[in-house]
Structure 1
């Protein structure tokens, strides 16, 4: 029994949909889907129909793309209402979400708990000399502006930063209540550490990539593995003896598909030990 991860499916692209359909069955294994499945409920339906038929259990965390409010979708829900709509859709397929009890990993090994999280970002992934109020202007100096600024609404919170702060506090309370004898698999769409935002072509996009409030969570909450996506730069990284898996698939021009895309899955458990 294995635990795999894949993120950033971006199913608005036919190329990616066909690739997902090519994925071989893994009937004994679990799959983490670490956000950016698509932008519409139709994209989500396609993903869950496809993946729940191939894996024993699927675990999802939202990316920013799922939270977009597109006027062609009715009702065009915003912010928290949009997120809860996605949660209910997942539950209709038996897909686990950040709103469900954290599952214990049933495979071999020590007591491990899977922790799907929804934390968003607060523009704090920026140099110290840039004030928060100047963060977007700083990015725009390099002609960078995330689409979220137009279509990811924080309602009923006054800002995305405020929504992020609320999600961090809610998640902290749950993490602190975990039994002290368990290790964790921390799952979030956005990287937990600023140093892991490796974007050589668009470095100032970092402000839409996470929050510094999670910088020590891999140690504080006994993480064995941290899973994320968002960067479209799949990799295995290490910090303080903890393995970090960036599990993105990405846009069609960013990867090559030759048959079954099982090779794109990141093995979380048992996974690499060094």
Structure 2
């Protein structure tokens, strides 16, 4: 089975409360420090709805914010542990070159702590800044900056495969089973690259619209998670979730009928976005 970007785009429509849940997540994104972990941790609950019998296609938010937040911090820990060798290498390089933290460093750290989603791009931004003749620099040779950024992108490329192991086992530590994740990428390379290609179009456009349509960031995240997890549907035993069902919500999304006339859809050559209605019309 090949991945189906359209089915991933429209997955939220399978839940009758998709608008309320998506809008709620959008507001959470704007909450400093705790907001992004709650959205990130929603993924673990969503996996149960992807693969195993559940009443609704999307998990509830009510009463589960703490659970989602804890799982979000655990997921962030996985990401940063993947990147830890690069952070150590960068720190050693710039310290040896004479860099000393100042007020600008503290401001940058405060911004990243307030909005933890920025941690995902902090490393390449810092490498680029350290390689420029600003603030007493450069503190990095261009060659060193090049290999660091190249390794960063390689690690980020492999991260979704690590989280697919989390989908399969339900344990975050499974993300580090490289003997399982790398063969998965090799075996399903075309589908994996296709998922990455469409995931970029799902996640990058909502970023500049964040203050005006914060729900878009959650939609892009949820759709890309659905897209990557489609890879597991026809994986052999031991590679996908042990209790996967043919009637799971993710499998059903691949055969779902087109959305009805009451759903507003924005279409582009790469993504199809269901648009939440204005609150008064949605409730009317």
TM-score, scaled relative to structure 1:
0.28
Higher relative contact order (CA 8 A, sep 6+): 2
Q: As a proportion of its length, which structure holds more helix?
A: 2
TM-score, scaled relative to structure 2:
0.27
Which of 1 and 2 has greater Rg?
A: 2
Q: As a proportion of its length, which structure holds more strand?
A: 1
